[in-house]
Amino acid sequence: MAKTKRLQNLQNSVQTQPTLSVQPNAQPTTSQSISSVQAKKQMTSSVQATSQPVQSTQAASQSISSNQAVSHSTSSSQAESQPKSFKKRVVGRESTEYWTVEAIDSEGNKKKLKVKVKEVLNLSGEDRIVVNFDYLDCPFGEAQPLLSGFCGILAADSSLFPMHFDKWPNMPMSYFDSVFDQIIVPRFFFETTNLAARRYVYNCISKKWSANRLDIWKVFSDPLKSKTQIMDNVPPGIPRDQWTSYVNYRYKKETQEMCNRNAESRKKQIIPHTGGSKANSRRRAEMMAETGQMPGRAELYLATHKNVDGAYVNEAAKVICEKIQQTLSQSTVDESIISPDDAVGKILGKEHSGRVRCLGLGVVPTRVFKQARPRFSGMNASSVSCPSNCQENYNKLLNSHIQMMAAFKSYMIMKEGALPEQFVGLFAPTTTMPGDVSDSNRSEPR
C-alpha cells in the first residue's frame, strides 16, 4: 500500500538522522544533544546546496520577464498619478522564509532578527529571542511559532527525550528541567513569569514528543510484518533498546484498546477547522491589532470555521455558527470576557478538563474560569453581609478590568514593538489573573 506524501517525507527525514548511542535509563547530557542537533542541520544545508544551479536558469527567465515589464511602464506611471486608496494594515507574518522576531542582549538592547527554526541553535550567547505572553499566559507574535518549532526539534531528539516511556508523564522531570535551563533559557527571553514560561514549554514539548512517536510508528509499522520483524527495523537515530521498548508498548492489549477508542472518538469529530497550524493566541493578537478590540471565543470560532471565500466548512459548522451568531445578537453582556456562559459555552456545552475551546495550548478551565475572592481588611467575602449577587458582580468587574488592561498591553506591544517606558507603571504586577501562583510556589507543569 502506497504511503502518503507526508509519511514518505518523514521517512526520508528520519533516515538522514545520525545514529545516537544513548542509554535509555541514563539522563541525557545536554552538550551531546546540542551537537547532535547541529549535525542534523549541517546535513540539511548540504542538501540545500544542490538547489543552487537551478537559480541560473531562473535568472535567465527573469531577463525575459524584464523586457515584458517595459510595456507596462506607461500604465504604471499613470496609476501612480491617481490618488491611492487607503489600505488597511495587514497584520501577520512578514515572510514565509523566516520569522521576524525581537532579540535582547545582556545589556537590555533590543533589535530585529530574521531567524529560521533550524538557526536557533546558532544564535550567539548575547542575543535571546523575546517571547511576549498575553493575559492567558500564552505566547503570541512571530516568536511563538519559532519557539514551538524549536521545541519540536528538541522533542524529536531521542537523546534528550527517550521514546521508550509509555507516556509523557512517565518522563523524569529532570530531563525537561535540564533542557529548559540549558537550551531554552539561553536562547529565549520570556516576558512573563518563570512558571508560565515553563508550563507552556512543557506542554509544547509534550505534544511534539507524542506526535513524533506516532509519526515514526506510522512509517515503520507494517501489518504484514511480525512484531520481531518490526523490532529489527530500527529507525535511524533511535537506539535499538528504545525502539524495542516502544514496539512492546504498541503491542500491549491496553494500548491497542486505547487506539481503537481514539479512532472511534475521531470519527465523531465531523466539523473541521481552517485555523491550520497557527496558534489561537497568535490569531487572537492579530485580530486585536486589526480591530483594536479583544476578540471573544465566539469571534475566534467563527473565524476558524470558514473558508477563504467566506463559506462555512460544512453544513454542521454552518448550523453551529448560525446559533453562535444568534446568541451574540441577543447577548447583553461583554462577549469578549471568557466565561463558561458565553456564546461558545452556551452552544457547545461544558468544557473538558484539559482544554478550553478557542483559547490555545495550555489553557484549562480550572485556571481561566477560576474566580477570585475579594478581601476586605483581612476578612474574606463570606464574612461580609451583602446581597447574594455581590460576589458575582465583583468577580465580573474584576475579570473585565484585568482582561481590558491585558488587551491594552498586548495591543501596544503589537503596535509599538515594545511597551513604552511611560506606561510600564500602568501594568503593575498586581494586575494578574485570579488564581495566579507566584514562582516561589511553582509546581510541576501539567
Give the 3-state DSSP-derived string for the chain, with helices as H, strands as E and coil as C: CCCCHHHHHHHHHHHCCCCCCCCCCCCCCHHHHHHHHHHHHHHHHHHHHCCCHHHHHHHHHHHHHHHHHHCCHHHHHHHHHCCCCCCCCCCCCCCCCCEEEEEECCCCCEEEEEECHHHHHHCCCCCEEEEEECCCCCEECCHHHHHHHHHHHHHCCCCCCCCCCCCHHHCCHHHHHHHHHHHHCCCEEEECCHHHHHHHHHHHHHHHHHHHHHHHHHHHCCCCCCHHHHHHCCCCCCCHHHHHHHHHHHCCHHHHHHHHHHHHHHHCCCCCCCCCCCCHHHHHHHHHHHHCCCCCHHHHHHHCCECCCCCECCHHHHHHHHHHHHHHHHCCCCCCCCCCCCHHHHHHCCCCCCCCCCCCCCCCHHHHCCCCCCEECCEEHHHCCCCCCHHHHHHHHHHHHHHHHHHHHHHHHHHHCCCCHHHHHHCCCCCCCCCCCCHHHCCCCC
**pLDDT above 60 (res 67):** no
| Phi, psi angle pair for 285, to nearest 5° | -65, -40
**pLDDT above 70 (res 152):** yes
Contact 313, 273 (CB under 8 A): yes
Pair type for strands 128-133 and 139-140: antiparallel
Return the pLDDT at 365.
85
Share of the chain above pLDDT 90, in %: 46
Return the pLDDT at 8.
53
Give the residue, 433 or 183, on which the prediction is more confident. 183
Return the pLDDT at 400.
67
Contact 312, 306 (CB under 8 A): yes
190: its cell numbers = 520570556
**pLDDT above 60 (res 51):** no
Return the pLDDT at 377.
37
Return the pLDDT at 10.
46
**pLDDT above 60 (res 253):** yes
Angle at the Cα of 285 from the Cα atoms of 317 and 141, rounded to 5 degrees: 115
Q: What is the pLDDT of residues 370-380, one digit of tens each?
A: 643 333 334 34
Return the pLDDT at 394.
63
| Average pLDDT value over all residues in the chain | 75
Q: What is the pLDDT confidence band of residue 99, given thresholds at 50, 70 and 90?
A: very high
* pTM for the predicted model, two decimal places: 0.65
Give the residue, 235 or 338, on which the prediction is more confident. 235
Q: Sketch the domain layout of the chain as residue ranges.
A: 92-267, 290-426
